[in-house]
Chain A
Amino acid sequence: MSQIETVPKPRRLVEFFLLILALGIGVFANALVNINMQKPFDSDFYVQAGVMTVLAFAMHISLHIRAKYADPVILPIVVALNGIGLAMIHRLDIASGDNAGQRQWVWTSVAVVCSMLVIWLLRDHRILRRFTYISLIVSGLLLIMPLVPGLGAGDINGASVWVKIGSSSFQPGEIAKITLAIFFAGYLSSNRDLIMLAGRKVGRLQLPRVRDLGPMIIAWLASIGVLIFQHDLGSSVLFFGLFMVMIYVATSRISWVVIGLVLLVVGGLVSAKVFTHVGLRIDSWWNAFNPDVFVRSPGGSGQIVQGLFGMANGGMLGTGLGLGRPDIVPFSNSDMIVAALGEELGMVGLFAIVLLYLLLVTRGFRAALGTRDSFGKLLACGLAFAIALQCFVIIGGVTRLIPLTGLTTPFMAAGGSSLLANWIIVALLLKISDAARRPANTVPEPDSIAPDTGTGNGGATATNNSFNNPTQAVKAL
């Protein structure tokens, strides 16, 4: 795994200015909705703008104190995405009379506060490595929770992934993606050498030993289990993709990806045959414009096609916020929020949003490249990839590139659990990027011994150290 050096500079001022711009976008979007939908600027508007500003700057100040060298562009990107999402949900509320916007406001506040807590309480991301196996157990419990009678909220929209907490429902699987990433990162960073070097070669592929396949099988079973028992195709793909990418990053062995893809294809084909909901999903993707499929009641393609029509109606520049009819599409504020944005902001606006996600993901990978420990590298990579895969699966589904699965659009879609999980991911990425960009001499290294203290050059320290740094050796070629 490679490492990149950078000029150590806090750059909090850059973040400050970008944050103002990002907040401005959120407020502007909300104002546009009010103007275009002939709504008065009531106290709600000002309160919401104020709350968002206070939250964003509280986060900014927390970073200033606790993670001075954190990446300056991550927070503004997330604030902008969240602001646009809130404005869109507010706009759809006006059309449908729902109050999802209020709930989303509450959840945004909770999520930002949790994210701030992570920044304040987590001194160093390497501490999380101690919780490798605890994370595995926690992930297991979180995934089982919705199936426990009395705790689970039962079958909602064809998937049983929610638990009831008081009057609201919560999706524990969203948090599980963080704990699973911590487990994979911890496990792979300890067992990387073993997985990498053992095994025999077949042609160009170096096959892993059977006992090293264990965690892969567990990950596969977990994702298949999610599919069978919770009918949640999206999360199942997400968990498995997360594991595959992390093991590929850890070992740079293409054989893992090949094995993973084979398992995925087998799992996908079998589940398409066995589970009707998966089969229907694929059918409604392939034959979306077939009139029979369009009107079919469970598993029809009406939602996707309505979304496509909406986006076509928006065209290049969009109808303008509040001036289209995205509310016709079912679930337009959660699953189909990308279609709603595509309709009202047009291709130009939607591309801007996709680009914001892309920039966010690249910053995550950048943090992974910069950080000095393999656990941090793997964790940052995994978390950034989780966001990327989620975006790909849902935006690809909405634009009919792949079958539509029920994943949430990070930071935008109505849904508290996803918002909370993604803000925590952002806090972790910020923390890792802080470790990556901080000048080397001030980094406390609790887990690892300081490199090259001047004595021997042999021994485990030196070898391990250079082992994590193959780029230099490659450069010497």
Chain B
Amino acid sequence: MTEISTLTVTALRFGFLLVLWILIFSIVSAMRRDLVIGRKTKVGAPSSRQARKHPELVDTPPPAKQQAHQLVVTDGALAGTTLELASSPILLGRAQEATLVLDDDYASGRHARLFPQGSRWFIEDLGSTNGTFLADQPLTRALPVELGVPIRIGKTVIELRP
């Protein structure tokens, strides 16, 4: 094997480090085109070319979700009653300490609980005798409540309104 000059060795040494960093910059620049964060944000919005090729990316955004601010009793003895929602949980039942005291023979004393978690409300059955129904499905665990979805407790039906 022929002797290689110090200059070549040094050049190769730096050359290797250079190639290593070229790889990193190529990877980052390949990723740059991939960093589309959500379809609605400005930074990641698809370019007009992408939009032409993939029209499904630029569909109109769904109407913004609204937060529930009111609880309305739509059916039962208390029909018409409204309750402003704050950030504290609400106890539903016949017991006097309940937030909404239900005048309903089919409701238990402590029937169900509505509680906020993040930006949404969840309903949880507290082991009532006759059960709680969210959109006509009996509750088996805490579930999020969408606006306008009826919650039935005995003969009382309540729903959340914006």
Contact = CB atoms under 8 A, between A and B. Distances in A.
A197 B124 contact: yes
A4 interface: yes
Contact of A7 (B17, B30, B57, B134): B57
A477 B135 contact: no
A476 interface: yes
B147 to A, nearest CB: 11
Interface string A188-205: 000001100100000000
Interface string B111-155: 000000111101010000000001111000111101001000000
A97 interface: no
A466 to B, nearest CB: 7
B65 A473 contact: yes
B79 interface: no
Contact count band on B: 35 or more
Interface in A284-318: 317-318
B36 A5 contact: yes
Determine chain B's interface SS by DSSP, over half rule: mixed
A106 interface: no
Interface stretch (B18-26, B69-77, B80-88, B97-105): B18-26
A24 B18 CA distance: 12
A395 interface: no
A254 interface: no
Contacts of A21: 19, 22-23, 26
B20 A318 contact: no
Nearest to A440: B56
Contacts of A353: 20
Contacts of A218: none
A21 B18 CA distance: 12
Contacts of B16: 25, 28-29, 32, 321, 345, 349
B34 A6 contact: yes
Nearest to A252: B118
Contacts of A476: 64-67, 119
A472 B65 contact: yes
Name A's interface SS. Answer: helix
A323 B10 CA distance: 11
B141 A194 contact: yes
Interface stretch (A70-78, A143-151, A405-413): A70-78
Nearest to B149: A458
A359 B27 contact: yes
A38 B1 contact: yes
Contact of B28 (A80, A345, A359, A471): A359
Interface in B1-42: 1, 4, 9-10, 12-17, 19-24, 26-28, 30-31, 34, 36-40
Nearest to B66: A476
B144 A466 contact: yes
Nearest to A460: B137
B23 A317 contact: no
A43 to B, nearest CB: 15
A38 B3 CA distance: 8
B136 A477 contact: no
B135 A459 contact: yes
